[in-house]
Structure 1
Amino acid sequence: MKTLVRLLAALLMALAAAPTSAQQTTGTITGLVLDPQGMAVPGTTVTATNAATGFSRTDVSDSEGLYHLNAMPVGTYDVVAELPGFIRLERKDIAVDVSETTNLNLTLRLAAVAETVTVVGDTPLIPTTSSSVGQVVDLTRIERLPLNGRQFANLAATVPGVGLGFHSDPTKATEYVPQISGGNGRNVDYVVDGGDNNDDTIGGLAQMYPLEAIQQFNVMTQRFDAQYGRGGAVMNVVTKSGTNDVRGSAFTLFRDTSMNAKTESETLSHVSKQDYRRYQYGGSVGGPTLSRPSIRWGSFRRKTACSRFPCARTSSPAR
């Protein structure tokens, strides 16, 4: 009996000490540091800095010239590689997307005199470290594409293999939701900032987020990692976190009676156009706080509607 208790205690301690894997809300930059002959350059200090937030992460290349910059918040980074005896190399505007690995090889040249090489360019579009099928919907697409109803998840329809279907919630039957590989509702696993955001009763998003609050999201339609663990597809969403500069936005959309034609019911009932008003408004603001050195971001959205509809009544002739 004592032996069994000891084995169970050892097993519990081992499980407690085992590292846990959380669903990713960040990205990774990795690659090789090489010399002009293609040989590995160990001991190189590689630093990635986000100019908007000031966040930075540093790693040193190993004996094979390999470096890893893990757990990088979504954004655009400037990468610098430095080693005595070599020219300082800068790579600007390197994009890091949620749940994605950016492969960035760095080639250093021997330094004859003090100089710096700055390279501005995009990273390869084809990932070589993951078999996941899908696409990242970035901030540019979120801000510039027209969107009926301002439901951010509907932008997933810009990803191959994704369409739009009616909401699985009967109380939201007029709204559209992403339909991936022919399924929606519980077929899609929604992850927001690493947390589960699924309606366990009928499927779909449990908590809706304003369009202005979304930084980007990754739509994975097939062959995604086992860490997500459910659904036939995954939508991994990252919300905005603010920058060192104070920024914000505001919007308002409206429709009223003067902008509408008579409905078929109004025509059949021989009545004038009925009162109709629909407003959708909101905004966002973010930046550094004054009380303590931190960055905050908040957003707000509201929709109100008021309408009247004619009701036709028929009666049978008296006998």
Structure 2
Amino acid sequence: MILLLVAVNAAAQTGQGSLRGYVKDEQGGAVPGATITATSAALIQPATAVTDSEGYYRLINLPPGTYSIAAELTGFASYKREEILLRAGATFQVDVTMKIGTLQETVTVSGDSPMLEVSKPSNVLNISGEFQRDMPIQARRNWSDFLEITPGVHSRPFDDGSGRMVYFGHSTEHFAHVIQLEGAIASNYQDAQVTYVAMGADMIDDVQVKTGGVDASAPMGVGLNINVITKSGGNQFKGSAAFAYQSKDMNGDNVKNCSPSPGCNPSASPGVGTPTTALVKQFDGGLGGPIKRDRVWFFGSLRRADLESGISRTAEEVGRLKTFFRDVALFNNTTKSWQPYGKVTAKLTPSHELAAFVQQDRLLATGDREYHYSRAVMYSTGGGLYGGKLTSVWGQKITTTLLAAYNNKGGSNASTYEGFPGAGPTITIHNAANLQV
């Protein structure tokens, strides 16, 4: 898929936010000509605007982050407001009252009322990447775990015992959602359900979920509209790394079961079943920093997932398999994938910013059930997303975004079955089978 988009006020789709408001004096009169400057660790360069004849200003195309704004004009004391948390796609109004004085004097405002979205009637929930990484939901840290606590969304486990979830919103099917990465469609073109989009938790900066009132800037969809905004790096090198490990001994079990392993072979042990244990070996790492300070930043991350999910078999089901196949070797379902991500952001001019990004999430998994005596179900999902976007500011009221993206994510293909021992449907007749029902 290739997408070209030119839009006016397209910040909601690409994840950029804005700050706007009126600058007035202590008597309530408009203050034209004041310089408004926004600074943040999320900005390559400070964003500036000048108030018009009505004292109005607007700072647009701002990435999610924590901001400080300053207002300056000769004859007035400098004004500064700190700790403004701007979320992906949000528009906050920050009005300024300037006092008579000199520029050397500064009026600092902190602890003011929280910001409220003022531009759109959408039902929007923003979840920061930091919050997602800290959620103690499961060791695998799936990026979509936050949907478990999203109002209006309900879920059920994926039917392969992997621990992944299937999500529903607006009473629609689980494949009816729109999933975006930096404004580009990131979902699988065969099946757009959330669980088929994989990414490392370290790459996420903020996620915007629209559950209702979706505006025209978003792609058409009848379910949830999810836009993931990724990290961009910064003027300082920062990185993180984590390894999640969960062995079979870390899984609770209140019946006589054991997970297939050299130390416990249900096929050789009478009266033993296999539980839905989760075995996790997963690495996450990320690094960002400057290529050229105040001009070009980079960020990259990698997830390597090697997961096993026990197939739930009762002792009776294991007994039936042993009746048909005396030497049956039971097994777990597996999921293996490499999930790299890279992004470069460059400030071409104070009004134009260019970003290029690459995401890969191809995975190979098995989905066998309790009645399978050998590997029978293998599948693949995901692929590559390659994109770039040019965001521009034209004055205080117009912003444009040119977005181009190529998405080749799909399902199983010939490479999925390379090395698979199966040779097609077979029929085996067992003369000595003796089943007791």
TM-score normalized by the length of structure 2: 0.61
Q: What is the deviation of 1:126?
A: 3.1
Q: Which digits, 9 at most, give the CA deviation of each residue in 1:124-176, with x for residues without a partner?
A: 34322210112111234223221323111220332321232345xx7797521
- Match in the other structure for 1:78: 68
Mean CA deviation greater in 230-239 or 21-30: 21-30
2:81 aligned to 91, 99, 111, which one? 91
Distance 1:113 1:48 in 2: 17
Q: What is the deviation of 1:211?
A: 0.9
Q: Which digits, 9 at most, give the CA deviation of each residue in 1:264-287, with x for residues without a partner?
A: 784973469999953122211111
- Match in the other structure for 1:281: 283
Correspondence 1:94-109 to 2 at 5 A? 94-109=84-99
Q: What is the deviation of 1:54?
A: 4.1
Q: 1:137, 1:155 within 8 Å by CA — same for their partners in 2? A: yes
2:175 aligned to 163, 170, 186, which one? 186
Correspondence 1:234-245 to 2 at 5 A? 234-245=225-236
Q: 2:36, 2:49 within 8 Å by CA — same for their partners in 1? A: yes
Counterpart code for 1:298: G
Counterpart code for 1:316: N
Q: Tell me whether 1:228 sits opposite 2:218 in the alignment.
A: yes
Distance 1:109 1:276 in 2: 62
Q: What is the deviation of 1:191?
A: 1.3
Counterpart code for 2:282: Q
Distance 1:258 1:173 in 2: 17
Q: SS at the partner of 1:200? A: coil
Matched residue pairs, number? 299
Counterpart code for 1:165: R
Distance 2:167 2:273 in 1: 38
Distance 2:172 2:145 in 1: 14
1:153 aligned to 130, 141, 144, which one? 144
Q: What is the deviation of 1:123?
A: 5.4
Mean CA deviation greater in 239-248 or 205-214: 205-214
Q: Tell me whether 1:130 sits opposite 2:120 in the alignment.
A: yes
- Match in the other structure for 2:187: 198
Given the superposition, is the C-alpha separation of residues 307 and 36 from structure 1 closer, same or farther in structure 2, using an over 3 Å criterion? closer
Q: SS at the partner of 1:295? A: strand
TM-score normalized by the length of structure 1: 0.81
1:57 aligned to 35, 47, 50, which one? 47
Q: 2:17, 2:63 within 8 Å by CA — same for their partners in 1? A: yes
**Structure 1: where are the runs of 5+ without partners?**
1-17
Q: 2:31, 2:55 within 8 Å by CA — same for their partners in 1? A: yes
Counterpart code for 2:219: G
Q: 1:53, 1:244 within 8 Å by CA — same for their partners in 2? A: no
Q: 2:162, 2:308 within 8 Å by CA — same for their partners in 1? A: no
Q: What is the deviation of 1:120?
A: 2.1
Distance 1:223 1:36 in 2: 38
Q: 1:52, 1:244 within 8 Å by CA — same for their partners in 2? A: no
Q: Tell me whether 1:20 sits opposite 2:7 in the alignment.
A: yes
Q: 2:74, 2:102 within 8 Å by CA — same for their partners in 1? A: no
Given the superposition, is the C-alpha separation of residues 172 and 263 from structure 1 closer, same or farther in structure 2, using an over 3 Å criterion? closer
Indicate the structure with greater helix content.
1
Mean CA deviation greater in 24-33 or 296-305: 296-305
Given the superposition, is the C-alpha separation of residues 113 and 48 from structure 1 closer, same or farther in structure 2, using an over 3 Å criterion? closer
- Which has the bigger relative contact order, CA under 8 A and spacing at least 6? 2
Given the superposition, is the C-alpha separation of residues 308 and 186 from structure 1 closer, same or farther in structure 2, using an over 3 Å criterion? closer
